[in-house]
Amino acid sequence: MRGRETPPRVRNNIWITIVFVDIIIYSSVGCGRRKYICEYRQAGRQAGTNAFTLVEVLITIVVIGILAGLMMISSGSATDKAEETACLNNRKVLQREYNVRHSTEASKNFESLMDEVLQAQNRGIKIYSSPVFYSISDICPAKGVVAASLPDIRDSSRVTVACALHSDNLDDTLFVQLSNLLNKEDIVDIHSGNVHVTDLTSYFDTGNRAGNIEATLDSTGVNFGQYFKDYLARITGLDMSSYPWQIQRTSLVKQNGNYNYTISWSTQKIDNLQKGDTISVTRYSTETGKTETGTAKVTTKVNGGKTIKVFDMTTFVPD
Alpha-carbon dihedral angle through residues 202, 208, 210, 212, given to the nearest 10 degrees:
-130
Question: 188 to each of 130, 154, 183, 223, 235, how far by Cα in Å?
Answer: 17, 28, 11, 13, 11
Nearest CA to 167 out of 229, 228, 262, 238 is that of: 238
- The DSSP bridge partners found for residue 163 are 146
- One digit per residue, the tens of pLDDT, for the chain of length 319 reads 344 444 554 445 555 555 444 544 444 444 444 454 455 455 554 544 555 677 777 888 888 888 777 777 666 567 788 888 999 999 999 999 999 999 998 888 899 999 999 999 888 999 888 777 888 989 999 888 888 888 766 788 888 888 877 775 555 655 666 656 665 544 444 444 444 556 778 888 888 888 899 999 888 887 777 777 777 777 667 666 777 888 899 999 988 888 888 888 887 888 889 999 999 998 888 888 788 889 999 999 888 788 999 999 999 999 9
pTM exceeding the 0.85 threshold for the entire prediction: no
Nearest CA to 265 out of 248, 249, 289, 251 is that of: 248
